[in-house]
Structure 1
Amino acid sequence: MSLEQLKADSSEFGALLEQAKGARVKAALTQAKAEVDREIINLEIKARLAAERQASGGTAGSDTKRYLHELTDYGWDQSAKFVKLFITLNGVQQCQEDAVTVNYTEHSLQLHVRDLNGKDFGLSVNNLLFAIDVAKSYRKIKTDMVAIYLKKAEEGQNWDVLTSIQKRLKQKADNELAKDNANPEEALVNIMKKMYNSGDSKTKQVIAKAWTESQEKARFGQDANGGPGGGLGGGLGGLGDLGSLGNL
């Protein structure tokens, strides 16, 4: 897909997001826009690399051809004046100063590391939570790390997350947690489902055994010692039958 079409798609997703009402619809549109924006950044970086190689006399079949490796892991922190990103990249201190560049907009950044051990690296962060001062933002090359300092446009403003997309996802998670708190029995079932689906075979066996035992205790109205139903068994028994463990 062309860069122009991707930009058109991103704009359309943005327009739909402004009109969306439902939380699920907003979450789906936010995720879709983020994926398109990532494709846009990757194409722009690749185009810039191609232009740099052509300017330096490189050709598609020459030894100067390198592939772009997308970076996705980073840490971040903040002070009253700056939001700071820390990107681990082994050996980056060996690069020339002009080989490590960062392009900023008010709500995004693109890191490009050129020819590090024969590879190019790129990191894109879009939809920053608040605006930054592009002119006063900068980066430092440290041992095995690039540190990026984003100057807050509004000093003292607290960023609880880094991007607006993360903000929406956090709000969605908080809403789900609030629903769980309103119905603790349903929350317990959801927790067991998540543990079962994400667990290894041993974990699944343990959860399956616990669930089966709780259902049996609830069915017979007694605890493990033959007494009246209650405790974990009675509590789980009141949650109803999941149908089958395969649906956990």
Structure 2
Amino acid sequence: MPVEQLKAEVAECIALLELAKTARVKGALTQAKAEAEREIINLEIKARLAAERKAGPETKRYLHELTDYGWDQSAKFVKLFITLPGVQNCAEEAVTVHYTENSMQLYVSDLNGKDFGLTVNNLLYAIDVEKSYRKLKTDMVAIYLKKVEEDKSWDVLTSIQKRLKQKQDSELSKDSENPEGALVNIMKKMYNSGDSKTKQMIAKAWTESQDKARFGMDSSSLGDL
């Protein structure tokens, strides 16, 4: 679908959201808007890559999807930290972040001959697109997502992680005699039913929870990732 048509759909969803009254209708419109925005981002990145390859040498670069990052928060911002050795040497225009109310997508062009991307969808709460920004630090990109609701604490980063934690708590309460087995079953169910981004997030959460367990930390901290 052409980008212009997708942008028209986003504008229509925004207009309809102002008229919507019920939570169900608002939820459907918000989801449709987010899906259209994700398609726009993907098409724009593909177009940019195609233009760069056409204008530059014939060397072919691939987009490396990033999955590892750290995050923290203050009263006003949720902060993401992505490690990329040498990124401070990139031109400012080579490191871009696209924000929507409930997602962010980082794109790094031609870092040591490679392109990198990180997408985080389904943020737990809304962010202020206009006041969100990023900084280049030594071997790191720091992304500052401005909270719409200041002073509101995020116990997890995304709504997917929230559902995972809720499922975990529910299943563990049902199977208190075998909490580890219940947790494994939860992870398997969500992994098998999720899309590629959800599977990446679950795999990352599971790996980190196992690492914590090796150091004597309780696996229930999985929900705080």
TM-score under structure 2 length normalisation: 0.61
For residue 131 of structure 1, the aligned residue among 103, 126, 129 is 126
- 2:104 maps to 109
Residue in structure 1 matched with residue 11 of structure 2 by the alignment = none
Distance in 2 between residues matched to 1:3 and 1:98, nearest whole Å:
25
Q: In 2, Cα distance between the equivalents of 1:142 and 1:52?
A: 25
Equivalent of 1:91 in 62, 65, 86:
86
The aligned residue for residue 158 of structure 2 is 163
1:77 correspondence with 2:72 = yes
Deviations 1:135-154 (A, max 9, x none): 11110111111000000011
Q: Which has the higher strand share?
A: 2
SS at structure 1 position matched to 2:130: helix
Is the CA contact (8 Å cut-off) linking 1:104 and 1:134 kept in structure 2? yes
Q: 1:152 to 1:143 in 2, by over 3 A?
A: same
Unaligned runs of 5+ in 1: 8-17, 19-36, 195-248
Larger radius of gyration: 1
Is contact 2:77-2:146 (8 Å) kept?
A: yes
Higher relative contact order (CA 8 A, sep 6+): 2
Instruction: Kindly state the Cα deviation for residue 97 of structure 1 after the two structures are TM-superposed.
Output: 1.1
CA shift digits 1:77-103 (9 cap, x unpaired): 000000000000111111111111101
Mapped pair 1:67 → 2:89 = no
Letter in 1 for 2:118: L
Match of 2:181 in 1: 190
Matches of 2:180 and 2:102 in 1, distance apart?
A: 40
Change (3 A) 1:40 1:161: farther
Q: Is the 8 A contact 1:38 1:124 kept in 2?
A: no
Alignment RMSD (CA, Å)? 3.5
CA 108–188 in structure 1, closer or farther in 2 if over 3 Å, else same: closer
Distance 1:109 1:84 in 2: 12
- Whole-angstrom CA distance in 1 between matches of 2:130 and 2:172: 40
**Quick one: structure 1 residues 156 and 94, their matched pair in 2 at CA, closer, same or farther if it must change by over 3 Å?**
same
SS of alignment partner, residue 69 of structure 1? strand
Q: How many residues align?
A: 161
Matched, 1:176 2:171: yes
Give 1:238's aligned residue.
none
User: Measured at CA, do residues 190 and 53 of structure 1 come closer, stay the same or move farther in structure 2, by a change above 3 Å?
Assistant: closer
SS in 2 for 1:134: strand
- Return the offset for 1:51: 3.4
Paired-residue identity, %: 75
Kindly tell me: are residues 109 and 178 of structure 1, through their superposed partners in 2, closer, same or farther at Cα, counting changes over 3 Å? Answer: same
Stretches of structure 2 lacking an aligned partner (at least 5 in a row): 7-23, 25-36, 186-225
Alpha carbons of structure 1 residues 138 and 164: separation in structure 2 relative to 1, 3 Å: same
Q: What per-residue deviation string (whole Å, max 9, x for no partner) do you get for residues 105-151 of structure 1?
A: 11111101111000000000111111111111110111111000000
Query: C-alpha separation between the residues in 2 aligned to 1:41 and 1:64?
Result: 24
Q: After the TM superposition, which parts of structure 1 deviate over 2 Å for at least 4 consecutive aligned residues?
A: 37-48, 51-54, 62-65, 188-191
Could you tell me how far apart the structure 1 residues matched to 2:179 and 2:45 are? 46
The 8 Å contact of residues 102 and 126 in structure 2, kept in 1 or not, is answered as: yes
